[in-house]
Amino acid sequence: MLVLALVTLLLHGALMGLFYAFSMSVMPGLNAIDPAHAGAAMRSINRKILNPWLFIVFMGSPLAALVTGIVTGSVWFYAAAVVNGVGSFLVTVAINVPMNNALDAGTMPYQKYAPRWTRWNTIRTVACAVSLVLTGIGLTAL
């Protein structure tokens, strides 16, 4: 039970860190260079980030919180699963991925893409921070 809760905490922290790094360093760095180069770099990042490590953290965070909630009966883990599921998973699938696809297809210029994508990524970061805190509270309540 404790190991499962710790894995849940680790997954939420890793996902929050990933989103945080994008909003606080990757996107500002890309915004500081020529938009054509920034768009090309972001398209490359979007292709390379689709790997098993991302999927373990991205899909594992809400799933681990849900399983931990079931195993422990703790509402804190259920809450973390919901916040992460809506604020990270749903936002990614409904907003960030379609924008990535539009950038890749050339139907959205980088100058329009970057501020909107970063705004929604920051929302994902906040949701992951909240779910991380909820997971931490759940862990301390075990």
Check residue 66 and give its pLDDT.
98
Q: Tokens representing 119?
A: 């705004």
CA angle 142, 55, 46 (to 5 degrees): 135
Check residue 7 and give its pLDDT.
98
Taking the C-alpha atoms of residue 20 and residue 23, their distance in angstroms, rounded to an integer, is 5
Residue 118 is which amino acid?
A: T
Sequence-distant (≥ 6) Cβ neighbours of residue 29 within 8 angstroms: none
Judge whether 128 and 12 are in contact, CB under 8 Å: yes
Taking the C-alpha atoms of residue 113 and residue 126, their distance in angstroms, rounded to an integer, is 20
Check residue 132 and give its pLDDT.
98
pLDDT tens string for the chain (142 positions)? Answer: 999 999 999 999 999 999 999 999 999 999 999 999 999 999 999 999 999 999 999 999 999 999 999 999 999 999 999 999 999 999 999 999 999 999 999 999 999 999 999 999 999 999 999 999 999 999 999 9
pTM: 0.94
Full residue range of the structural domain in which residue 128 is found: 2-140
Q: Tell me the pLDDT tens digit for each residue of 22-55.
A: 999 999 999 999 999 999 999 999 999 999 999 9
User: What is the total count of domains within the chain?
Assistant: 1
Q: Tokens representing 106?
A: 């050339």
Which candidate, 47, 36, 18, 20, places its Cα nearest to that of 113?
36
